[in-house]
A and B are shown apart, each in its own frame.
Chain A
Amino acid sequence: MGKQAIERIVEKYGSDHADVLEMLIDIQEKEHYLSRETLQYLSERLAVPLTRLYHMATFYEALSLKRRGRHQIHVCMGTACHVRGAARILEQLERCLSIKSGEVTPDLQFGLATVNCVGTCALGPVVSVDGEYHGHMSASKVERMLKRYSETEANGVAVCQK
């Protein structure tokens, strides 16, 4: 992210170092990750130690130092989803995308992560893709859902090839 873009975010929060987490969330939303340059810039700009920013970036589930996929898939692992079989859905996604939770496909198309309850428990099990909720999921529906987001037909076939 360019300095100007970061600067706009910093100013939105009045350059207040107490709002640094807000800034990190905004940057993460725009860039899908936090680059080293971003953290270094914020550290100097706000006089917050880089060590603290690094700790924050690794502490919070929603922040990431690695690029996330263009389509970010979140499998809800809340209790309501768990008792309705969320683990099997996660396994099927891992199998289909050939990545583990927390990883990204080599073409950066899909990123896969778990989230500990998105608070849509009535729809469980829930998978959200790019913030769109897919309720009452099942392992057998995973392939169809992925194809909806797949950017190319070829990729759609590549998905779930195993």
Chain B
Amino acid sequence: MSKINSVGELAELRAAILDQRDAGRPCITTCLGTGCHAYDSQEVYNAFAGEIHSRDLADKVDLRGSGCHGFCEQGPIVVLSPGEICYCHVQPEDAAEIITETVLKNEVIERLLYRDPVTGRRFEREGEIPFYKHQDRLILGQNRLLDPKNIEDYLALGGYKALAGALAEMTPEDVLEEVKKANLRGRGGGGFPAGIKWETARRAPEKEKYVIVNADEGDPGAYMDRSLLEGNPHLILEGLLIGAYAIGAAEGYLYARQEYPLAVENFTLAVQQAEEYGLLGSDILGTGFAFSVKIKRGAGAFVSGESSALMAAIEGLVGEPRPKHINTAISGLWGKPSNLNNVETWANVPLIIERGAAWFKRIGNERNSGTKIFSLVGKINNTGLVEVPMGTPLRKIIEDIGGGIPGGKKFKAVQTGGPSGGCIPEQYLDTPVDFDCLEELGAMMGSGGMIVMDEDNCIVDVAKYFMHFLKDESCGKCSSCREGTTRMYEILDAITRGEGREGDLELLEELAWVMKNASLCALGSTAANPVLSTLRYFREEYAAHIQEKRCPAKVCPALIRYSIDPEICDGCGRCRRSCPEKAITGELNTPLVIDGALCSRCGICREVCHLEAIVVE
């Protein structure tokens, strides 16, 4: 490939690519995102490739391996166009039938269609499936349409058009104005307006400036950035390029988790391709704009996602936060003005530039423009990535898109915002989801993790879980965070062990106050949120643990007891065989008995019992 030397040449190349392609030709898209990949979707893809080859269909059928479609619950997912027929849980042995029936004869294979777990209804087209139907997939929707390893797929979809437009027709100030007008708020947590941050960096006196993609997606339960980087790396790169142009940066960094190898691989490849095509380098599209990108990996430290820690890590230091009384937009990486946004924020930029701030502002609500991607996980029927306009009510996300709670269980709470966020109970499900409303509820948008909990989840256990996470992930530099998280964990642990005391809740609140006010970085100052929000809405559940030594959700091992209902047990012996503590005794074919003294309450017996004879009290 020879370099593209001008905006005109880019348009010509795009036209040439489209010319070669037959838009009407059937295309089989197999999701190769990490979720589907774990279900062996690569083998499904290979099976299609084998069939196409052996039946000599290469010039009649296109095959594409795409990034994540979002509906991970149903993986491996295969979508057939035209028609957007969506097949779920596809196995390699289904490949031949799909080609014969659906691709060649236009016959839909009923058993592979999505089936609503509640109504049992099947849906043919992707867009009809309730999970997709209620979404607005401006960003995530592109994943299905391209092979992330192929820059030409991205170009065919209009990729780098926004960059070309910005370079050819807009001054950096124009770009900045557009992003400010769009009111694009940072998708990584705080929701700070990106345009204002960009402007601060642009106006900072130092000439050398940096732009950074924060792909250190550490919030447990959130994986939208992973899916975007894996599935559409050029979109992020294009956003970064536009930002660099607006801010006046010649160098950029992507800092990604080492735990996301495919994301690093695909982004690295995207950078190489962009360099080859002249979309990165010294004279981009012949406009004189110069920009290069380096990729850095994190090695497993949640705190390194904090902006000052992330910059320290890029510099080759330990990824610990530094006091930032001087904004990193003025003095960041190597003391230079540095603008950091997360993956999803950058992904919005090309859309804003191409379609305009006015268009962007029409999506979402007054103070929250655009869409937000959530990872809807936990106790929910349709687990996956969900993109909706900001301000969409929680209930719509959980009930209409998520399809409610599995197994007829009762909804208890949804946790948003990761370790800095909070739990929202049933009575607030009609709250519109945006930066401001969630904060009012004591939760947070965070990077968009949405973990649904049902009646079987213990709220104290969840609070303890987050505190364990935070005491582990605190860098340990400042005493209020290091000691505060450790002490809070100790108290919560004691409560779940039935050793809670009067005054514990008040002490937790005191610790929360000092951590919020005295800690060095946001990890510490928000660390108490999961405890505070659960105390706010579920105080009686804490009280049950402390005063009655009772875990209402029957989760905390020290407060529950396993037994076998002799009326139900048929003595099949499955539980006796699987019990790791050898705590189950009795004759086969007669009801068995659990020895409470040996039982470690691991719950394996309950998992393997085919009759639901195991009783937890």
Listed in ascending order, the chain A residues whose CB lies under 8 Å from chain B are 16-22, 24-25, 28, 48, 52, 55-56, 59-63, 77-80, 82-85, 88, 91-92, 95-96, 115-124, 126, 131-135, 138-140, 160, 162
Contact = CB atoms under 8 A, between A and B. Distances in A.
Contact of B35 (A17, A117, A120): A120
Interface of B: 34-35, 37-39, 72-73, 75, 217-223, 226, 257-261, 296-302, 313-320, 375, 377-379, 383-384, 415, 418, 449, 451-453, 457, 462, 465-466, 469, 472-473, 475, 578, 580, 600, 602-604, 607-608
A25 B218 contact: no
B223 A121 contact: yes
B383 A63 contact: no
A50 to B, nearest CB: 13
A79 B379 CA distance: 11
Nearest to B385: A122
Contacts of B296: 19, 21-22
B469 A77 contact: yes
Given A16-B316, A83-B453, A140-B578, 11 more contacts: A20-B316, A21-B296, A22-B296, A61-B300, A79-B465, A80-B449, A91-B602, A116-B220, A121-B221, A122-B35, A135-B39
B95 to A, nearest CB: 22
A79 B316 contact: no
Nearest to A138: B607
A10 B326 CA distance: 34
Nearest to B230: A119
Nearest to B470: A116
Contact of B451 (A83, A116, A140): A83
Contacts of B315: 18
Contacts of B73: 122
A105 to B, nearest CB: 17
A120 B318 contact: no
Given A59-B319, A83-B453, A135-B39, A119 B259 contact: yes
A119 B319 CA distance: 21
A20 B75 CA distance: 38
A79 B300 contact: no
B45 to A, nearest CB: 17
Contacts of B377: 79-80, 121-122, 124
Contacts of A20: 316
Contacts of B603: 85, 88, 139
Nearest to B603: A88
A133 B38 contact: yes
Given A19-B316, A25-B297, A79-B418, A116 B602 contact: no
A52 B318 contact: yes
Contacts of B226: 119
24 contacts: A17-B316, A19-B296, A19-B316, A21-B316, A59-B301, A60-B298, A60-B319, A61-B299, A62-B300, A78-B221, A79-B418, A79-B462, A80-B375, A82-B220, A83-B453, A119-B257, A121-B375, A121-B449, A122-B72, A126-B38, A131-B261, A134-B38, A138-B607, A139-B607
B378 A18 contact: no
Contact of B383 (A21, A117, A122): A122
Contacts of B383: 80, 121-122
A78 B383 CA distance: 15
A76 B607 CA distance: 20
B318 A56 contact: yes
Contacts, number: 165
Contact of A84 (B258, B318, B378): B378
A20 B452 CA distance: 40
A137 to B, nearest CB: 11
A138 B604 CA distance: 8
Contacts of A116: 218, 220, 300, 302, 469, 472-473
A127 to B, nearest CB: 11
B555 to A, nearest CB: 9
Contacts of A92: 580, 602, 604
Contacts of B217: 119
A124 B39 CA distance: 12
Contacts of B320: 59
Contacts of A24: 299
A139 B223 contact: no
A63 B301 CA distance: 10
A117 B219 contact: yes
Contacts of A80: 220-221, 375, 377-378, 383, 449, 451
Contacts of A140: 578, 604, 607-608
B415 A21 contact: no
A161 B301 CA distance: 35
A118 B300 contact: no
A160 B582 CA distance: 12
B35 A123 contact: yes
A116 B219 CA distance: 8
Most buried by A among B219, B315, B472, B580: B580
Nearest to B300: A61
A60 B301 contact: yes
A115 B465 contact: no
Contacts of B37: 133
A134 to B, nearest CB: 8
A68 to B, nearest CB: 13
Contacts of B258: 25, 62
Given A21-B299, A119-B259, A133 B34 contact: yes
A75 B384 CA distance: 20
A20 B453 CA distance: 41
Q: Which 6 A-B pairs have the closest CB atoms?
A: A61-B300, A122-B72, A60-B299, A133-B38, A119-B223, A78-B220
Contact of A135 (B38, B221, B261, B318): B38
Contacts of A123: 35, 38-39, 72
A162 B580 contact: yes
A65 B68 CA distance: 35
Nearest to B68: A122
Which of A62, A78, A119, A138 gathers most chain B CB within 10 Å?
Answer: A119
B58 to A, nearest CB: 31
A135 B258 CA distance: 20
Nearest to A59: B318
B375 A82 contact: no
